[in-house]
Amino acid sequence: MIYITGDTHRDFYKLNCIEKSKNNMIIILGDVGINYWLNEEDNKFKKYLNDMNIKLFCIQGNHEERPENILSYKEVDMFGGKVFIEDEYPNLIFAKNGELYTIDDKSLLVIGGAYSVDKDYRLAYGYRWFKDEQLSESEKKDILHKYSGKHVDIILSHTCPLKYEPTEVFMKGLDQSKVDKSMEIFLDKIEENIDYNKWYCGHFHTEKQIDKLEFMFGRIKLFNKDEFYPKYNRNDYEIIRDAYSQDEVMKEEVVCPKCHSKNISVIKGDGFRIDGADFIGITCNGCKKVYGFNDVNYKPNCPKEL
């Protein structure tokens, strides 16, 4: 099976719901979180993920170093295009910007990268910022030259075309006139000049669809299908919407608040943020319950499982 989801930022609890099989793969739309510190901590985490026995097909975001800038990565042929992998972690696959892949019998154009609105904060407080987080002008020109006037089935990007920016989730108090929109402007040109059937992106930590474009964040979908995974219903899982507060549950190591199992998935997205958190629920695959939080102001279109 092939799945797709939005930014993970080193939080992979949601992978617990996917069967551990080398035949399964999840596409992550940037800000994966495994090439951030560029030290042994990253390597420990990569080993943990690689041992899950699930393939990760990763798009480059703006909170990670490009794999081509890391000596341990090599460029190899896969899915009809070039990808980057490390010998020690063959299940962790990074797409190359501007490559066209064939996955699930669909042609996929990958365009990673975005501007970091938190750049100054990260530099001031010792967090990493990556100067190649956006595509260069030559990369943009090459992609437009190569694909303009052509058809691709699906476009995968980190950020979105400017025309589709979800202004309702912009950070309050941030002067948008100081935000570099060059990637979004470039993606407008992509949207205008390339014929496509579907577009998936992440970056904005929201979930919504507009025209043929879909923003993804916390939940997982079956790839190229309008179906979230897993589906929760009252035949399989008991839904307890306002079971706990976030403070009661979101500890350093998250466990089921009822049976204390570690076989849980954290649900993100479609809830108004509480103190900057994006968690809106916890699914326990042990006692078959979905727990919602009583201190999250859920949006009207919040997933029915909550």
Dist. CA 67–CA 180, nearest whole Å = 23
Which helix (H) or strand (E) element contains residue 151? Answer: strand 151-157
Query: How long a stretch of residues is the chain?
Result: 306
Asked if residue 301 has pLDDT above 80, the reply is: no
Q: What is the pLDDT of residue 275?
A: 47
Sign of CA dihedral 239, 241, 245, 251: positive
Q: What percent of the chain has pLDDT over 90?
A: 63
pLDDT at 256: 85
Above pLDDT 70, what percent of the chain?
92
Q: In 63-131, where do the E strands start and end?
A: 73-78, 81-86, 89-95, 100-103, 106-111
pLDDT of residue 260: 86
Return mean pLDDT, the chain.
Answer: 90
* 134 pLDDT higher than 60: yes
Query: Is pLDDT above 90 for 38?
Result: yes
User: Which residue has better confidence, 17 or 5?
Assistant: 5
**Torsion over CA: 167, 169, 173, 176 (sign):** negative
Q: What is the pLDDT of residues 192-228, one digit of tens each?
A: 999 999 999 999 988 889 999 999 988 899 998 888 8
Query: Treating both helix axes as pointing N-terminal to C-terminal, what angle do 182-193 and 137-147 enclose, rounded to 10 degrees?
Result: 10
pLDDT above 50: residue 135:
yes
Residue 171 has pLDDT above 90, yes or no: no
Topology (CATH) of 2-229: Purple Acid Phosphatase; chain A, domain 2 (3.60.21)
Q: Taking 50 as the threshold, does the pLDDT of residue 4 lie above it?
A: yes
HSE, side-chain direction, 13 A CA sphere, residue 116: 21
Could you state, in order of their start, the residue ranges of all structural domains in the chain? 2-229, 238-293
Task: Label residues 114-123 b or e (16+ Cβ within 10 Å = b).
Answer: bbbbebeeee
The residue ranking higher by pLDDT, 250 or 248, is 248
As a whole number of angstroms, the distance between CA 130 and CA 64 comes to 7
Which pLDDT value is given to residue 219?
A: 84
User: Distance between CA 115 and CA 133 in Å, rounded?
Assistant: 7
The per-residue pLDDT for range 258-269, each reduced to its tens digit, is 888 888 877 776
Sequence-separated (6 or more) residues with CB below 8 Å from residue 87: 72, 74
pLDDT tens sequence across 71-106:
999 999 999 999 999 999 999 999 999 999 999 999
Residue 44: pLDDT over 60: yes
Average pLDDT over residues 286-299: 83
Tokens, residue 157: 């990007």
Question: Is the pLDDT higher at 282 or at 230?
Answer: 282
For residue 97, give the nearest of 182, 30, 194 by alpha carbon: 30
Average pLDDT over residues 161-185: 93
